[in-house]
Amino acid sequence: MSSIQKAADTRGLAGQTIGDTKVCSVNQTQLIYRGYEIADLAANATFEEVSFLLLEGHKPSTDELARFEAELRDMREPHPEVIKVIHGLARSAPNAHPMNVLRTGISLASHHDPDCEDNSAEAELRKSKRLLASIPAMIGAHQRGLEGKDPVSADPSMSHAANLLWCLSGETPGEIATKVMDVSLILYAEHDFNASTFTGRVIASTNSDLHSAVCGAVGALKGNLHGGANEAAMDMLRDIMDDTTQDSDLTVGAWMTRAFEEKRKLMGFGHRVYKNGDHRAGILRDWGLRYANEENASAKKWFDLGDEVQQIMFEQKNIHPNVDFPCGMTYYSMGIPVPQYTPIFVASRITGWCAHIMEQHANNRIIRPLAEYTGPELSNWND
Ligand code: ACO
């Protein structure tokens, strides 16, 4: 290698293709779920249709969709013990992170799932649907417990997105709130071998069960380099707003320069695959801004600030926002509590995870890569 050539940094498996999938394609120019492009899905499909596409492998017919939606509506209430424990944790452990509580809820649900230990394709599809249908009620039970309120029963008359908002707030959501939530769930549903999906596939590859693989995936999603960035992005925007309001000499640019000097990562920016922008970010920003314009004018300031941060980040670092950046502003405008942003991500990505776990089990070989040893040289114990 010449001295001016730099070895590729392959830490974190950067740039490595480690398997194939029929579920999703992620590249610089397109994001495709089973043959359908993300902008097409966000504009023309519902989250239920996208969930069917991911889990069943093809676009649903009218009859298939009706059957699928009815099944999900029937399975929205988790086992009562799950709700009792999750709701109780809000009081006994109020500082527990909602992602950890949701992971506990999913783990607990496994004990009451009659198919838990059955890894057949049919059983895994049933388990996937039960989790997809019931996760909104788990998220809602925890949030309402934190607010000192009783959980509400899941509403079988609502769409999946509307029921999620209902379970969280106990209020019937309006049309635009439901639409924005639905689009965000579509955008978050799947993203090939991202860290949480890969985690799920590794667990599944040992012949472990679907719930165990999903619990591992929840743990991986929680971190702020991955799904946890939607909460961290909003926390950062609030810090910038507070700091620049309290100190009128401090500009947004100066705040960011300080962050760059301190080598801090700005949350909601950058991506391992997308170096020219995340296909999902602009779609969600436009829907979030539309929500603010129509329903919550005071929230528009977050989009103005977000645009300024985005502009400076591009000019100074040539780094684009990922989907978590507009997600923070969008959910904040909608009045959703910040610590529930990543659990909502789970309510969507459960579809992608389950599709991958089923794909792994359908053609399994244990995932067991090699490591390059860099430890001490061999010594004799008695020397
Ligand atoms: N803020 C500041 N600098 C950044 C950022 C950022 N958000 N992202 C990347 N960079 C810089 C890095 O410091 C690095 O600079 P250097 O070459 O001078 O060291 C360069 O850009 C390349 O970045 P990497 O860290 O090599 O990118 P990697 O692919 O390893 O990490 C990641 C990708 C984790 C998304 C990273 O961009 C990051 O930490 N972003 C913030 C967290 C975030 O938003 N995560 C959500 C991702 S999307 C999702 O999971 C749904």
Query: How far is residue 350 from each of residues 69, 267, 279, 374, measured CA to CA in Å?
Result: 16, 23, 20, 37
Alpha helices (H) along the chain: 38-44, 47-56, 62-74, 80-92, 98-111, 121-146, 160-169, 175-188, 195-205, 210-222, 229-246, 252-261, 281-295, 300-317, 324-333, 341-362
- Structure tokens given for 191: 């993203």
Cα(93)–Cα(14) distance, rounded to whole angstroms? 38
- Packing angle of the helix pair 341-362, 98-111 (nearest 10 deg): 40
Cα(87)–Cα(138) distance, rounded to whole angstroms? 8
DSSP 8-state secondary structure symbol assigned to residue 283: H
| Residue nearest (by alpha carbon) to ligand 1 atom 39 | 225
Which atom of ligand 1 lies closest to the CA of 317?
Answer: 3
Distance 268 CA to ligand 1 centre (A): 9
Cα(140)–Cα(170) distance, rounded to whole angstroms? 9
| Residue nearest (by alpha carbon) to ligand 1 atom 23 | 270
Find the angle CA(150)-CA(151)-CA(156) to the nearest 5 degrees.
145
Cα(71)–Cα(67) distance, rounded to whole angstroms? 6
24-223+340-362 and 229-333: identical CATH topology: no
Distance 342 CA to ligand 1 centre (A): 19
Which atom of ligand 1 lies closest to the CA of 345?
Answer: 51
| Residue nearest (by alpha carbon) to ligand 1 atom 2 | 265
Cα(53)–Cα(60) distance, rounded to whole angstroms? 7
Determine the residue of 230, 265, 276, 324 to mutate for testing ligand 1's pocket, defined as the one with the most ligand atoms within 8 A of the Cβ atom.
Answer: 265
pLDDT digits (tens, 9 = 90+) for 148-159: 999 999 999 999
Ramachandran quadrant class, 305 (left: phi over 0; alpha: psi -120 to 50; beta: rest): alpha
Distance 14 CA to ligand 1 centre (A): 12
Q: What type of residue is 23?
A: V
Which atom of ligand 1 lies closest to the CA of 265?
Answer: 1
Which atom of ligand 1 lies closest to the CA of 14?
Answer: 29
| pLDDT the model gives residue 10 | 87
| pLDDT the model gives residue 2 | 43
| Residue nearest (by alpha carbon) to ligand 1 atom 45 | 225
Q: Which residues form the catalytic set?
A: 226, 271, 324
Query: How far is residue 173 from each of residues 141, 142, 257, measured CA to CA in Å?
Result: 17, 19, 40
Tell me yes or no: is domain 229-333 CATH 1.10.230.10.
Answer: yes
* Superfamily of segment(s) 24-223+340-362: Citrate Synthase, domain 1 (1.10.580.10)
- Gyration radius of the chain over CA positions: 22
* Nearest one of 34, 32, 94 to 58, comparing CA atoms: 34
pLDDT digits (tens, 9 = 90+) for 317-346: 999 999 999 999 999 999 999 999 999 999
| pLDDT the model gives residue 88 | 98
Query: What are the residue ranges spanned by the domains of the chain?
Result: 24-223+340-362, 229-333
- Structure tokens given for 144: 């309402």
What phi and psi, each to the nearest 5 degrees, are found at residue 25?
A: -125, 125
- Structure tokens given for 325: 């950046």
Distance 200 CA to ligand 1 centre (A): 23
| Neighbour-count burial of 221, counting CB atoms closer than 10 A to its CB (0-12 exposed, 13-18 middle, 19+ buried) | buried
Distance 276 CA to ligand 1 centre (A): 13
Ligand 1 interacting residues, C-beta cut-off 6 A: 12, 225-227, 229, 265-272, 317, 319, 322-324
Distance 64 CA to ligand 1 centre (A): 41
pTM: 0.96
- Structure tokens given for 303: 């989009």
Per-residue pLDDT of the chain (383 residues; tens, 9 = 90+): 444 445 788 899 999 999 999 999 999 999 999 999 999 999 999 999 999 999 999 999 999 999 999 999 999 999 999 999 999 999 999 999 999 999 999 999 999 999 999 999 999 999 999 999 999 999 999 999 999 999 999 999 999 999 999 999 999 999 999 999 999 999 999 999 999 999 999 999 999 999 999 999 999 999 999 999 999 999 999 999 999 999 999 999 999 999 999 999 999 999 999 999 999 999 999 999 999 999 999 999 999 999 999 999 999 999 999 999 999 999 999 999 999 999 999 999 999 999 999 999 999 999 999 999 999 999 999 99
| Residue nearest (by alpha carbon) to ligand 1 atom 20 | 270
| pLDDT the model gives residue 8 | 84
Determine the residue of 199, 260, 273, 319 to mutate for testing ligand 1's pocket, defined as the one with the most ligand atoms within 8 A of the Cβ atom.
Answer: 319
DSSP 8-state secondary structure symbol assigned to residue 37: E
Which atom of ligand 1 lies closest to the CA of 270?
Answer: 37
